[in-house]
Structure 1
Amino acid sequence: MSSKRLETLRDFARHGYKIRIDCACGRVVLVDPHQMLLTLQEKGEDRISLERLATKLKCYRCGSRPRRIGP
């Protein structure tokens, strides 16, 4: 059994995992890392860690930051 390091969006895209984003309000979203990378590349931020990504995201329902981001 192998272990995979999933620290950046590129890691998720490379291994074929979707990113699960959980909000404090109970909303759960599965995001395609490829699409998110394309959006961030337009802004010049394609090498971003999950910790840094969490500071850029907000829930459109309640306005809070993600409670959890992971596979």
Structure 2
Amino acid sequence: MDEAHSSRYSIHPGSTKMYRDLREVYWWSSMKKGIAEFVPKCPNFQQVKVEHQRPSGLAQNIELLEWK
């Protein structure tokens, strides 16, 4: 799983993408569960999770025009 997740061609996919890619070539018992547990432990995945990113800024109101 480490090789499939860290390949320069896969660019650290999330668990769903990784599962879909691997199931075309491999299969094992509890595969989906194993991948779902493996991906969140990846250091790169942990760094780019939304929870660790700063908000982009305050939302700004957009004036809407009314069509007649």
Same structural fold, with TM-score higher than 0.5 when normalized by the shorter chain: no
- Highest RCO, 1 vs 2 (Cα 8 Å, sep ≥ 6): 1
Q: Which of the pair has more CA radius of gyration?
A: 2
Which structure dedicates a bigger proportion of its chain to helix? 2
> What's the TM-score once normalised by structure 1's chain length?
0.31
TM-score of the pair, normalised by structure 2: 0.32
